[in-house]
Amino acid sequence: MKEKNELTAMKPRKKERGFNSLRREQNIFYWIMIVLPLIQFVMFYIYVNLDSFLLAFEEYNPISNKFDFVYFKNFQYIFEDFSRPTGAIRKAFNNSVLAFGLGLLMQPLNVLIPYYVTKKGVGSEFFKVLLFLPSILSSMVLGLLYKYMVDAVIPGIALEYFNKEIMPPLYNFDSRFMTAWIFGAWFGIGGNILVMTGAMSQVPVSCVEAAHIDGCSATREFFAITFPLIYPTWVTLFIVGLVGMFTGGPDLYLFFGETSDSVQTLGYYINVKTLTSIAYASYPEVSAIGLCVTLITTPILMFVRWFLNRLDPNQEN
């Protein structure tokens, strides 16, 4: 009451400023505050993307140090590479799809583990911290420790105790991709733990209790109540994962630097091409690949989003 009286007492001061003056003040403040982020957006998003688009149709001329317009030459090179079974881009594309496909196998764990934590399974608080730990401790540090371990400890133990010679898994061409992928998948199973447990904790307790009274088991509860209710969250995370289908995958650069050779993914190929480019020579090819990936990914994203929304178990007919 006292507060209200104080506010009423202050009202005339608002009138003194006037609505128009307040509006003008707000507008000036708005534009002052937003102008720098907008300039940044124009420079580092609009200009960069336009330049990247143009680069896809250009070729670097080292003599003039300029870019010449070459129409679809870069795309022709990409398609020619793609048509060859041994083409580097083709291999990178295939490996990206393989990594994404293998990632799909981890999807059940990505949902069931947060369920275990939410339902307070044995040691759930302890596991929750451990699952979050790789995000804090740096995947680079864990990755390099993993690299030293699998390449030194495993072959060493095999030789010492089993008298068997094993090639270090990250050096062996047959096993290096899977060894790198296993690291990312295994220590990344807690990647979405906070978001998923956050969503699961919002499932109405009354609904779960009613199910338990009816004799519903934990497994049944998950499939009949929890997963349908957190479906929108799962779809959002799945779509975010899909965005990185071609540019994500195992962190090959961490393990192999610029020498991953035949196991490279598209994201790795783009990074290494840019990093090892002599002057601007490789930039047009990278931009052209980027444009192709955008053209492939966008409709896939739209379709998957539409399809998953249609599958929404909560959808009303």
> Footprint of other proteins on residues 96-135 (CB under 8 A)?
109, 112-113, 115-116, 119-123, 126-135
| Span 68-87, contacts to other proteins by CB under 8 A | none
CA distance 208 to 218: 10
Residue count of the chain? 317
- Token digits of residue 217: 């088991």
Among the residue ranges 44-52, 70-78, 87-95, 96-104, the one whose residues contact other proteins (CB under 8 A): 44-52
Backbone angles phi, psi at 310, to 5 degrees: -70, -30
CA distance 246 to 92: 9
Task: Give min distance, CB of 244 to other proteins, in A.
Answer: 8
CA distance 24 to 10: 21
CA distance 100 to 106: 10
With respect to other proteins, which residue has the nearer C-beta, 177 or 229? 229
Which DSSP letter does residue 190 get? Answer: T
Task: Give min distance, CB of 92 to other proteins, in A.
Answer: 13
Nearest partner of 264 among 173, 186, 184, 182, judged by Cα = 173
- Please report the sign of the dihedral spanned by the C-alpha atoms of residue 124, residue 127, residue 129, residue 134: negative
Among 59, 185, 246, 265, binds other proteins (CB under 8 A): 246
Any idea what the Cα angle at residue 274 is, between residues 272 and 280, rounded to 5°? 145
Among 157, 164, 261, 311, binds other proteins (CB under 8 A): 157
Among 137, 262, 276, 303, binds other proteins (CB under 8 A): 137
Site of tokens 């089993």: 162
CA distance 1 to 148: 69
Task: Give min distance, CB of 240 to other proteins, in A.
Answer: 9
Among 21, 47, 62, 80, binds other proteins (CB under 8 A): 47
Among 166, 178, 254, 304, binds other proteins (CB under 8 A): 254
Q: Is residue 152 a contact point for other proteins (CB under 8 A)?
A: yes
Query: How crowded is residue 64: how many other Cβ atoms within 10 Å of its Cβ?
Result: 8
- The strand pairing partners of 67, in sequence order, are 60
CA distance 134 to 190: 8
Among 110, 233, 264, 265, binds other proteins (CB under 8 A): 233
Task: Give min distance, CB of 208 to other proteins, in A.
Answer: 8
| Span 174-203, contacts to other proteins by CB under 8 A | 186-187, 189, 194-195, 197-199, 201-203
Among 243, 276, 303, 306, binds other proteins (CB under 8 A): 243
| Span 204-223, contacts to other proteins by CB under 8 A | 204, 212-213, 215-219, 221-222
Contacts with other proteins: how many residues (CB under 8 A)? 126
Among 136, 162, 163, 165, binds other proteins (CB under 8 A): 136
Task: Give min distance, CB of 91 to other proteins, in A.
Answer: 18
